[in-house]
Amino acid sequence: MADKTSEIKQSFMAELEAVNEISQLEAIKVKYLGKNGLITELMKDMKSLTPEEKKSFGQAVNVLKNEVSEIIAEKTEELKHKAILEEINKMQDFDISTPANTERGSYHPITLVQRQCEAIFKSMGFTVEEYSEVVTDYECFEALNIPKHHPARDMQDTYYLENGQLLKSHTSATQNAIYKKYKDNLVNNGVPIKAIFPGRCFRNEATDACHENTFFQMEGVMVDKNISISNLIFFMKTMLSEVFKKDIKVRLRPGFFPFVEPGFELDISCLICGGEGCPSCKHSGWLELCPCGMIHPEVLKAGEIDPEEYTGFAFGLGLTRLAMMKYGVKDIRDLNSGNLKSLSQFTDDE
Ligand code: PHE
């Protein structure tokens, strides 16, 4: 009987020699240790043995079983290790003398215009603020004097989350947070609030050459004692002339927004058609670029600023529209297209 166990051990070791892959090892494992495997079968032979023989044979079979299991486990580890090394070698199989790809990426035209505007406003003492794209109904509407069911909400239909929050439909949604952030400095230290906050905005829009569901604005506010419309006009003219590097033709029309009083639409002459009229300017020769106005007293109050003592202006610059004007992009949809052919041709090397 003892011969049988050493015979099996020998044949097992011989077969193991030839194993190169995990699948082969699996087959051997079944052959020897499986339900009907050779070692398992040995146990069945015990019936015919005396109790004495049973004891020593049983022990021998157990030792063999443990040895074989251990050897198989070791071999499994070894084969796994080998497979990993082979993978690594394959990965290293490239030509290190191949020249590097020296093609550089480029900034998106909106990023270029945004950075430029930020630099101009920073030079005039404005801080640049960041704010989230998901805001509350209060921030986007209520705090801006747009109560529930106000018709002004129709134009700003946007995307709502299940928790009641929404994707901001305009950068004005940041105003309330900015007033609250700086009001103490204004009141206690007499430091005017001068801030811009660029951001991505969303609206439920049918898209065409001049409308997109995702676009960029840059809001600006200034609050202090005795701020008037002439301050607003000065800052807007300075900024636009800097951006376009020439004196830009602008016009102010009255415009209604519940959060400013009085409110205006600041238009610039269309740079694509030079004022002749084209699809980008809806054939009017003018482009609506920057709604603006004096901050409504209710909005200041919501921002915990006393409207009896302080006044301010706010503007909502259409960054997307500005980029189209500056770079002569005819269709707004190109800007979100991810088409590198059209997007990578702009630089800010002026
Ligand atoms: N938030 C307004 C809009 O997107 C624009 C605006 C901003 C108007 C600031 C006045 C003052 O329609």
Q: Ligand 1 centre from 328 Cα, in Å? A: 24
- Cβ atoms of 239 and 247 within 8 Å: the answer is no
Distance CA 33, CA 22 (A): 16
CATH code for residues 109-343: 3.30.930.10
Looking at residue 270, what is its pLDDT? Answer: 80
Q: Ligand 1 centre from 59 Cα, in Å? A: 89
Can you give the residue ranges of every domain in the chain?
Answer: 2-92, 109-343
- CB-based pocket (< 6 A), ligand 1: 170, 172, 219, 257, 260, 263, 291-293, 314-316
Nearest CA residue ID for atom 9, ligand 1: 315
Cβ neighbours for 154, distance < 8 A, ≥ 6 positions apart = none
| Candidate from 92-106, 257-271, 283-297 with smallest mean pLDDT | 92-106
Whether 96 shows a pLDDT value over 90: the answer reads no
Ligand 1 pocket test, pick from 259, 288, 295, 320 with the greatest ligand atom count within 8 Å of Cβ, gives 259
Looking at residue 132, what is its pLDDT? Answer: 95
Q: Ligand 1 centre from 317 Cα, in Å? A: 8
Ligand 1 pocket test, pick from 131, 172, 201, 215 with the greatest ligand atom count within 8 Å of Cβ, gives 172
Nearest CA residue ID for atom 4, ligand 1: 170
Please write the tens of the pLDDT for every residue from 16-71. 998 888 889 999 999 999 888 888 888 877 778 888 888 888 888 899 999 999 99
Ligand 1 pocket test, pick from 170, 176, 295 with the greatest ligand atom count within 8 Å of Cβ, gives 170
206-232 mean pLDDT: 94
| Candidate from 68-77, 85-94, 104-113 with smallest mean pLDDT | 85-94
Give the number of the atom of ligand 1 that is nearest the alpha carbon of residue 217.
Answer: 4
Please write the tens of the pLDDT for every residue from 222-248. 999 999 999 998 898 888 888 888 777
Distances (CA, A) of 63 to 45, 49, 68, 115: 16, 18, 9, 76
Q: Ligand 1 centre from 2 Cα, in Å? A: 94
% residues pLDDT > 70 (the chain): 99
Nearest CA residue ID for atom 3, ligand 1: 170
Give the number of the atom of ligand 1 that is nearest the alpha carbon of residue 316.
Answer: 7
Q: Ligand 1 centre from 161 Cα, in Å? A: 23
Give the number of the atom of ligand 1 that is nearest the alpha carbon of residue 144.
Answer: 1
Cβ neighbours for 324, distance < 8 A, ≥ 6 positions apart = 272, 280, 330, 332, 335
Can you give the pTM of this predicted structure? 0.69
Q: Ligand 1 centre from 133 Cα, in Å? A: 16
Q: Ligand 1 centre from 271 Cα, in Å? A: 22
Distance CA 134, CA 1 (A): 79
Closest residue by Cα to residue 287 from 260, 320, 310:
320
Looking at residue 219, what is its pLDDT? Answer: 97
Give the number of the atom of ligand 1 that is nearest the alpha carbon of residue 172.
Answer: 1
3-state DSSP call for residue 208? strand
Give the number of the atom of ligand 1 that is nearest the alpha carbon of residue 169.
Answer: 4
Distance CA 54, CA 35 (A): 21
Looking at residue 175, what is its pLDDT? Answer: 98
Whether 291 shows a pLDDT value over 90: the answer reads yes
Please write the tens of the pLDDT for every residue from 150-185. 999 999 999 999 999 999 999 999 999 999 999 999
Distance CA 162, CA 167 (A): 12
Q: Ligand 1 centre from 170 Cα, in Å? A: 7
Whether 102 shows a pLDDT value over 90: the answer reads no
